[in-house]
Amino acid sequence: MQIVSCPSCGAQVQFRSHASVVAVCEFCRATVMKDADAVKDLGKMSSVLEDFTRIQIGTAGVLGGRNFSVVGRIQLRYAAGMWNEWFILFDDAGTGWLGDSSGLYTVTIERAAPGALPAFADVNPGHQYAIAGQRYTASEKRSAECIGGQGELPFQVGAGWQARVADFRAGATFATLDYSDGDTPVLYTGGAVTLEEMKCQLLREDEQIKESAGKYHGKLDALECPSCGTAIKYLPGVTTSLVCPSCQAQLDAAGPQAQILAQGEKVERVRTTIPLGATAKISGADYQVIGAMVRADNEGSEWTEYLLYTTRSAFFWLVETDQGWSRANVMSNWPDWQSSGADHADLDKLSYRKLYDYPATVKFAAGAFNWRVAAGDVVHVFEFENGQTRLAAELTAEELTWSRSTPVAFDQIAAWFGSALRVDPARKAATEALPASAVTHKFLWWILGLNAIPLIFNFSGTVIYVLLALLAIYLPAKLFGSADKGKQ
């Protein structure tokens, strides 16, 4: 470790890694450069946006038997959102980067890159490339701007510093080509990690996260839509992209004041089955529905996707279709899919058969998302199946993502969200339009179909009681139905 005096305020500034070139003074935010024996002040660094990350300078963990600690951070913003790159220092003096984007983490380490590497312009998500002797699929390419920094860093960054990066995947292996310094990229390789498996310590606590992000945004839980004034309660700051549930204005909540990116299209408001803001305890963690969107395929079938957020782990989605509910997680271990024309994708020695591919268009979106979503956005979806499990690849010109989904029983959804659940408006309208007796029948069949079947199968001796109970529900309804008819 080397300690120097800040040329601007005189405070002590630490350089813990020999690889560090600059360090941001904790007290006055001067960017201090360590240059041979002299120390220079390169000007003030913008402070980082208080987001909902659990990591902080000083967070420590273990990776592959090596202890590391977080010594620096840059925060980057690109067209679809923002992410953090944490500079980590291993006990053996090696360094690396811990990427932190919407609760998904990767650790990458700089490598020598033997052989030719693709030019930035030639990288297309979904296409395959040979990098350092391994076949990778391009997952994302983006140009980003550094919006703030903290701690010590291995290169000089300042406001407006531009990063050009392309990400690649091969199974669970991750590669990044960084073109920020010119046409010859720097190669980093690594993999997806979780804070739990790295046994991370000195993480920020939930209360600390909420308080700091809340302070930054002025109010703890609410933000007023600058377009229509509606209070938006879905944890502004957890992501920077918001769609006002009331007027559909597209908002950027990266600063203390939300900015309008685009006025809302005149789309009909959708009353979703799970309302925005609904909370549930799932696998011991507190989740909140922060975003909901309705998407449609090219044949007009629509489905609803709910984005669930917790400070404890990554986002996940609940998907509601005519056929039922499923839970979808973004995958960090990618299936092997030879090309976008291939009829199967392989993962963990299982082959998933391709079902169909179709364009999916966003019809309606409301709340907070981990990318900039708007009605009219189109992605191309490729779906694969093996047993009950489905894999989906979603491809755009900028990005390829994989998710895995498994069915969730409606009873489970009801148990999670309880009274917050709302009856599907379409179904409600349909039942309202039917005569009372038909409603009763429908109700009876609903009970038989959805609720009683597991009970009947599990406790076959109780079948007769279940049927008697159902009859008891059915008969009075039938009587009331007749009485209603009599009144008309």
Give the residues lining the site for Zn ion (CB under 5 A).
6, 8-9, 11, 25, 27-28, 30, 225, 227-228, 230, 244, 246-247, 249
Q: How far is the CB of 258 from Zn ion (least distance, A)?
A: 10
In the block, residue with structure tokens 């900015």: 259
In the block, residue with structure tokens 């720097």: 186
Contact 96, 154 (CB under 8 A): no
Give the residue with the Cβ less far from Zn ion, 16 or 164: 16
Contact 61, 131 (CB under 8 A): no
Q: What's the rounded Cα separation, in Å, for the pair 137 and 131?
A: 10
Give the residue with the Cβ less far from Zn ion, 35 or 91: 35
Q: How far is the CB of 69 from Zn ion (least distance, A)?
A: 22
Q: How far is the CB of 57 from Zn ion (least distance, A)?
A: 16
Q: How far is the CB of 84 from Zn ion (least distance, A)?
A: 23
Q: What's the rounded Cα separation, in Å, for the pair 410 and 450?
A: 8
Give the residue with the Cβ less far from Zn ion, 250 or 288: 250
Q: How far is the CB of 246 from Zn ion (least distance, A)?
A: 5
Contact 160, 147 (CB under 8 A): no
Give the residue with the Cβ less far from Zn ion, 228 or 415: 228
Contact 383, 250 (CB under 8 A): no
Q: How far is the CB of 460 from Zn ion (least distance, A)?
A: 54
Give the residue with the Cβ less far from Zn ion, 32 or 88: 32
Q: What is the 8-class DSSP label of residue 155?
A: S
Q: Identity (one letter) of the amino acid at 432?
A: E
Give the residue with the Cβ less far from Zn ion, 246 or 313: 246
For 325-357, the DSSP string reads: EEEEEE-SS--B---TT-SEEEETTEEEEEEEE
Q: How far is the CB of 25 from Zn ion (least distance, A)?
A: 3
Q: How far is the CB of 227 from Zn ion (least distance, A)?
A: 4
Q: How far is the CB of 160 from Zn ion (least distance, A)?
A: 21
- Helix, strand or coil for residue 163? strand
Give the residue with the Cβ less far from Zn ion, 25 or 314: 25
Q: What is the 8-class DSSP label of residue 399?
A: B
Give the residue with the Cβ less far from Zn ion, 29 or 295: 29
In the block, residue with structure tokens 């409301």: 366
As beta bridge partners, residue 22 has 33, 153
CA-based R_g, the chain, Å: 26
Count CB atoms within 10 A of the CB of residue 481.
17
In the block, residue with structure tokens 């909901």: 292
Give the residue with the Cβ less far from Zn ion, 12 or 351: 12
Q: How far is the CB of 375 from Zn ion (least distance, A)?
A: 14
For 87-133, the DSSP string reads: EEEETTS-EEEEEEETTEEEEEEEE---S----GGG--TT-EEEETT
Give the residue with the Cβ less far from Zn ion, 191 or 264: 264
Q: Identity (one letter) of the amino acid at 184?
A: T
Give the residue with the Cβ less far from Zn ion, 45 or 198: 45
Closest Cα to residue 86, out of 168, 204, 254, 171? 204
Q: How far is the CB of 59 from Zn ion (least distance, A)?
A: 23
The b/e string for 136-145 (b: 16+ C-beta within 10 A; e otherwise) is bbbbbbbebe
Count CB atoms within 10 A of the CB of residue 365.
27
How crowded is the C-beta side of 28, counted as CA atoms within 13 Å? Answer: 15
